[in-house]
Amino acid sequence: MIDFTVNKEGLRHNIEKARENGIIIPTIRQMQNPELIPENIREKLKKTGLWDVDPVNLFRITWKNEPKESGGLFRKSPNVIELPSALTGVKARIFAMVGKWFPTGCHKVGASFGCLAPRLVTGQFDTTVHKAVWPSTGNYCRGGAFNSKLLSCDSIAILPAEMSRERFEWLSKIAGEVIATPGCESNVKEIFDKTWELRQRPDVMIFNQFEEMGNPLWHYNVTGYALKDAFEAIKSEGDRFAGACFTSGSAGTMSAGDYLKEQYPGLKLAVGEALQCSTILDNGFGGHRIEGIGDKHIPWIHNVKNTDMVIDIDDEDSQRLLRLFNTDAGKQYLIKTVGLDAEFVETLSYLGISGIANVLCCIKMAKYYELTEHDIVGTVLTDSAVMYQSRIEELSEMYGDYSETAAELDHNLHILALKDDNMLELGYKDRKRIHNLKYYTWIEQQGRTVEELDALWYDSEGTWDAVHKQAAQLDEYIEAFNREVQKGSLS
């Protein structure tokens, strides 16, 4: 459960700071339904760029932004792309919600909001005392640093040294401090160690996305809700919402699946990971190249008991497709040989590396369950290829120029030839095995108790369900906070 204990002094400081800086905080309901956002905020948004460091951009933490670099308002249903069968090779309809149109170009700005907001509006985090620490493999700390700046909080970003150059360059402009820890994507233990070091300081507060319940609260209520809207907007008569697949970093996005399983009881929920770091599939470990996911442990906030399937994706597949979707030769092949619409092909740059892996999970699920044209599988594109231009250049340096022949090979080998291998439909015992792995990270290393761990397995109502429902309580605190801020500025 999220702790809403109020620290009066901290709250007073935060309200004063918000007043000074003209900060109004959006509610979860507004993120679900941006039509509830008041007119004066909309007017400001019309003059604000998507990535501008302006508090009004907090209102763009929603899947329903108009796809514009500047001045955009909101759409009725989320930004979505649907991947045609000629590309995927399966009959099932596959759609993906687009993360590129969040500020920072990634939906993790929402997860970090979910973690920071409860502590800010209760005064537990005091903006005059604390720095917000954002440990992450990249996008979460970008989102956290961005939100911190919008909310006038100091921040410290921690991420592995081998993450892409784009992430470091951008962070250095936004975060108060950037700390690079040894290793790559899957070196989360090194990040955790750094946070333990920082925890000793009285002026820092750690927002660990792997254990903060604000992360699943946000995804269940905002991403889950948006996926439902997206499905309802694109479905034809007789279509089923058959499945949802999300690769897991913190497993925050997986909570959107918890919402969908309640709304569509037949829906199968799959978690994806890199085959090169197969922790969920077979307790495996290793480095891999699907940036943002797969960290050699099971996140505290992964509701494993509600996960129906694990699907492993070879990181070579996602690297190859990054080139197919983002080079002229690749696009020409898709247009001329596969017959895809040229405008659609341009939207394939909305898929970042983990977005590609998410789509591949959907394809593998469709193959496994032999889904038909009436089955729809949904996923998200956490970030876009914009974040990986340096990776695309590196691939060109390694393999030389791309060609239409290479594109045809890549499409055939890395999409059409995908099989239902390296995946597992999870029975009770399989889920329990995965859940049990949490012990080694969270009890042995991170100070959690066995009672808390057991509660995540045996007491869904008191843990997962209770957190999901706390969105209403969070909104009440946010509204009260905003009222106090506005009172002062009106008087």
List residues binding ligand PLP (CB under 6 A).
108, 111, 137-140, 247-253, 291-293, 352, 354, 382-383
Residue 478, C-beta contacts closer than 8 angstroms, at least 6 positions apart: 25, 26, 27, 117, 121
Is the CB of 14 or the CB of 279 nearer to ligand PLP? 279
Is the CB of 291 or the CB of 315 nearer to ligand PLP? 291
Please give the Cα distance from 285 to 143 (Å, whole number): 27
Least distance between ligand PLP and beta carbon 68 (Å): 22
Least distance between ligand PLP and beta carbon 60 (Å): 18
Is the CB of 32 or the CB of 136 nearer to ligand PLP? 136
- For 134, half-sphere exposure in the C-beta direction (CA atoms, 13 angstrom radius) is 33
Residue 472, C-beta contacts closer than 8 angstroms, at least 6 positions apart: none
Cβ contact 391:322 at 8 Å: yes
Is the CB of 54 or the CB of 316 nearer to ligand PLP? 316
Least distance between ligand PLP and beta carbon 293 (Å): 5
Count Cβ neighbours within 10 Å for each residue of 132-153 and write b for 16 or more, e otherwise: bbbbbbbbbbbbbbbbbbbbbb
Is the CB of 24 or the CB of 111 nearer to ligand PLP? 111
199-204 own/partner pairs: CB under 8 Å, 24+ apart: 203/129, 203/130, 203/131, 204/130, 204/131, 204/132, 204/133, 204/156
DSSP string, 127-157: TTT-EEEEESSSHHHHHHHHHHHHTT-EEEE
**Angle CA 15–18–19, to nearest 5:** 85
Is the CB of 17 or the CB of 142 nearer to ligand PLP? 142
DSSP string, 258-313: HHHHHHSTT-EEEEEEEGGG-HHHHS-----S-TT---SS--TT--GGG--EEEEE
Cβ contact 166:390 at 8 Å: yes
Burial of 380 (0-12, 13-18, 19+ CB in 10 A): buried
Is the CB of 243 or the CB of 355 nearer to ligand PLP? 355
Least distance between ligand PLP and beta carbon 164 (Å): 10
Least distance between ligand PLP and beta carbon 224 (Å): 12
Cβ contact 441:211 at 8 Å: no
Residue with smallest beta-carbon separation from ligand PLP? 292
- For 388, half-sphere exposure in the C-beta direction (CA atoms, 13 angstrom radius) is 30
Is the CB of 316 or the CB of 404 nearer to ligand PLP? 316
Nearest to 254 by CA among 264, 263, 244, 262: 244
Please give the Cα distance from 485 to 240 (Å, whole number): 45
Least distance between ligand PLP and beta carbon 256 (Å): 9
Torsion over CA: 447, 470, 455, 426 (sign): negative
Least distance between ligand PLP and beta carbon 242 (Å): 21
Phi, psi of 10, rounded to the nearest 5 degrees = -60, -40
Is the CB of 191 or the CB of 251 nearer to ligand PLP? 251
Least distance between ligand PLP and beta carbon 303 (Å): 12
Q: How many residues does the chain have?
A: 491
Least distance between ligand PLP and beta carbon 139 (Å): 3
Least distance between ligand PLP and beta carbon 280 (Å): 12
Least distance between ligand PLP and beta carbon 405 (Å): 30
Is the CB of 158 or the CB of 293 nearer to ligand PLP? 293
Is the CB of 73 or the CB of 351 nearer to ligand PLP? 351
Is the CB of 164 or the CB of 403 nearer to ligand PLP? 164
Please give the Cα distance from 448 to 430 (Å, whole number): 23
Give the single-character DSSP code of 70. Answer: B
